[in-house]
Each structure stands twice: as structure tokens, then as C-alpha cells.
Structure 1
Amino acid sequence: MFKIMLIEDDLTLFREVKERLTQWSYDVFGVEDFGKVLQEFTAIQPHLVIIDIRLPKFDGFHWCRMIRSHSNVPIIFLSSRDHPTDMVMSMQLGADDFVQKPFHFDVLIAKIQATLRRVYDYGTDRVELRTWRGAAVEYVRNTVTNGEGAVELTKNEMLILKTLVERKNKIVDREELMRSLWDNEQFVSDNTLTVNVNRLRKKLEAIGLAVYIETKVGQGYMATEEADAP
């Protein structure tokens, strides 16, 4: 599930937007303290930020600048201000889109979906996010997140999981996994791969996913996934 941080001080609008986005299965977070937006952003780690320009204490441009100094997360401005300089400023600060109030919800949803597809599916000529067993596997952040929490993986652990998840319900032999990690398996001991898989399982155990990395004796490993509903 994608997490969206909605930085909007109009409580009525916030509730309305949150309700509509929740209907589209997005997980929406608001801001409790408009003086600590960056701290809350860091705690939430959203996949996308929607931000108004007019905000208490500091405007949206300030927080866009602060977020951009820490993250490349996609940002969409949502504002009643319609001066061209506001749109130009938004883009110069690294925003991905600008939606003017009043707006049609279908337009906002379409822009959100397009931005998420571009960033997480096609952003860098490779997929940046996969879903597996209801969890978001984010290759760039090296994280796996589901309703039970989030775990951070090492580069090698993520490479193993990435290889398995992209071949869900298929056995990946040990040699292929070693090639994915070190390009040439002759430089890697068989025990090294076992150690890395065990460490990966240990971390996934914290969010209930370890049992879905299966060992196929004499063959390799497999990430299992529930069959699609008919």
C-alpha cells in the first residue's frame, strides 16, 4: 500500500481528500504540528507528498525545499494560488506536479497514479517497487514494509529478495542468486549465500514474512505468493 502524506491545514478539505484517497487504497497521513513537518515526514517515510502552499508557520515552498534536501520522494502541490510564478517556483524546488484548487477529485487521483507509476515503476529504467505478500518491497530504500512494520535490508539482502520476488513462485537456483550478488559465482563460497539468506529471513521474521522464503533442497530458494483470485 502506498503511503501519502497530505500537508493541508484546512481540516475539512483534509478529511475529504483523505476519505477519497482511502477509497483508492492509499494510506493517508496528516500533520500534527506544522512547525515539525520535516520530522513527521521522516517518521512516516511516505511514497508521495501532497502539500498546500499556504500553511501555518512556514509555507509549502519552505517544506518542499526541506524535504528535497533529504529525499527524492515525489511531491504534488495543491493550492488555490494560481499565479504562474507559484507554479514555476514549485517546479524549480523539485515538485512533480501542481494541482489548482478547486479541483476535481478524478483529476487529482489521475495525477497521483501517474506520478506513482512514473517514479516507482518507470522512474529509472527499472522497477523501484514490488508488492509481495501485501508488503511493499522498495529497492531504492532497501526496505520492506507491511501492516506489521518495516525492516531495512543490506544491499546484498535486498538483491537476494529482489531476485526472488521478481520470480515469485518459481525456484531460483543458488548459482543464479550468487551471480545476481557478485556477478561471478566462482568468487563466492556456497556458505556465503546461505549466511546472507539466513540474515534476510531473520529480518523478515520481524514482519511475518520469513516463512515465505522457502528452501528447495538441492535446488535453491523460492519466494511464494498467494495465487491470484479467479
Structure 2
Amino acid sequence: MNYKVYIIEDDLSISALLQEYIVKYGFQAKAAEDFQEILNDFNEYNPDLVLLDVNLPKYDGFYWCRKIRQQSKIPIIFISARDSGMDQIMALESGADDYITKPFYYDVVIAKIKSHIRRTYGEYAPKVEEKIVEVDGLKLYPERSELEFKGERVIITKREGILLEYLMKKYPKVVSRNFLLEKIWDDLDFVEENTLSVNISRIRKRLQELGIDKAIETIRGAGYRLNKTW
């Protein structure tokens, strides 16, 4: 499997070199560009591991580590010039799995990435049964953000997966807008009025890719309901 690494580092030269090395060793890599949209980028990219600096614009790495950890258990490795014991303790208490101090050897970073990938997804990973949510042949795999129907599969974002999981679990009941908003945006101070509608629209498109039309019904003034049309 071609694992994905998300690099959150505001030093562009370090970020570019990390990306180059990571790709060289057979992984995919994406570097953060807008440091106010870290969570949105994280959900869109859906990485398997995060490299995270401490000193970042606006919010520091400890903040983003806690936010990511609220919705994901993937490995988080700090890379920072701050080498005090307290910084390392704060990183671990924020939910990080490892801490590498700058300057570092890039080969060491790669070795750390490989180690955490093995422990989380590979030969050393605990053997647990994968979670599957199913309604009459439509299968959602929340842990890998995949939808399956009649042998066909599509990738969805983490946020789309959360929404669809609740719609499927509560089928055939109506799920209120407020309930869905609380489940996926309770860590945001402000949510635009059309944010939920946009994500529901994206889920409908993913279902259409599987040949399922009109699968999510809008109940005016109430919310949304999974409408089994297949």
C-alpha cells in the first residue's frame, strides 16, 4: 500500500526536502500550504501519518495535534527545533507518538515513519476486525474512508464518512441537521450555513458514482434521511 504522509511545516525548504525524501522511499506526501486550514486539508487528504512542527503561524503544533487526535488515531510525529524536555512532554500529552529534534538526519525521519507505519498498519499492528456499516449491500468502511456497492468502490473524505455513517446507522429515521453538525464540527467556533449542505451534496455524488441516485432525502425543516433507492 502507498501510505500517505501529511507534512505540517512552515519552513518551506525543510518541507520540500521532507516531501522529496518521503516520495523517494515509496510514500505519498503532501505539504501544508494554508496554516489556517489544517483540519480541512487533513480531512481532504486523509493521510496515514502526520509530521508536525511546533512553531507554526497562528496556532502551534500542540493545538493542531490535539485537534487531529480528536478525530483520528493515526501516528503523529513532531519535528521541532525546540528540544526542551517540557516541549517533548507537551507533545506527547497532546497526543503525539514521537518527537524528533532539529537538525535531524532525513534518513532518521524516514526510519521513524517506516517504524510507525509498521506498528500501526503493518506486521506489528494489532489484529482487529475492521468496522463495516452496511445497509442492504451498500457498505461503508469508516477506517479507510471507502464506500462499496456491487464490487465497485469510491474514496470519500473523513467528514463525508462521518455524515454517511450516522445516516446509515439511523436508517430509515430522519437525522437532524443539528445532530450532524454537532458530530463533525463541534471543534469549530463558527460554521457557515451551507457547510452541511455542501458535504451532503458531495456524498450524493459519491453514491452516484456507484450507480445509486437520490439516496439521501432532504426533509425540509428536519434534516436528512437515507432513502434506499437501490
> Could you say whether these structures have the same fold, taking a TM-score greater than 0.5 normalized by the shorter chain as the test?
yes
Cα deviation digits, residues 120-140 of structure 1 (max 9, x gap): 123323487xxxxxxxxxx76
1:123 corresponds, among 119, 122, 125, to: 125
Give unpaired runs (5+ residues) of structure 2.
Answer: 131-140, 148-152, 166-206, 211-230
Cα deviation digits, residues 156-194 of structure 1 (max 9, x gap): xxxxxxxxxxxxxxxxxxxxxxxxxxxxxxxxxxxxxxx
**Taking structure 2 as the reference length, what is the TM-score of the superposition?**
0.57
**Which one has the largest radius of gyration?**
1
Q: 3-state DSSP class of the match of 2:143?
A: coil
Residue identity in the other structure for 1:141: E
Q: Does 1:85 align with 2:86?
A: yes
Alignment of 1:47-86 (within 5 A): 47-86=48-87
Are 1:120 and 1:127, in contact at CA under 8 Å, matched by a contact in 2?
no
Alignment of 1:39-188 (within 5 A): 39-121=40-122, 122-126=124-128, 141-144=143-146, 150=155
CA separation of 1:11/1:114 partners in 2, compared to 1, >3 Å: closer, same or farther? same
Partners of 1:144 and 1:38 lie apart in 2 by 19
Give unpaired runs (5+ residues) of structure 1.
Answer: 129-138, 155-202, 207-230
Partners of 2:26 and 2:109 lie apart in 1 by 15
Q: Note the aligned Cα RMSD (angstroms).
A: 2.7
Partner of 1:7: 8
Cα deviation digits, residues 49-68 of structure 1 (max 9, x gap): 00000000110000001101
Partners of 1:68 and 1:96 lie apart in 2 by 11
Deviation at 1:143, TM superposition (A): 3.7
Deviation at 1:26, TM superposition (A): 1.1
Deviation at 1:17, TM superposition (A): 0.8
Deviation at 1:42, TM superposition (A): 0.9
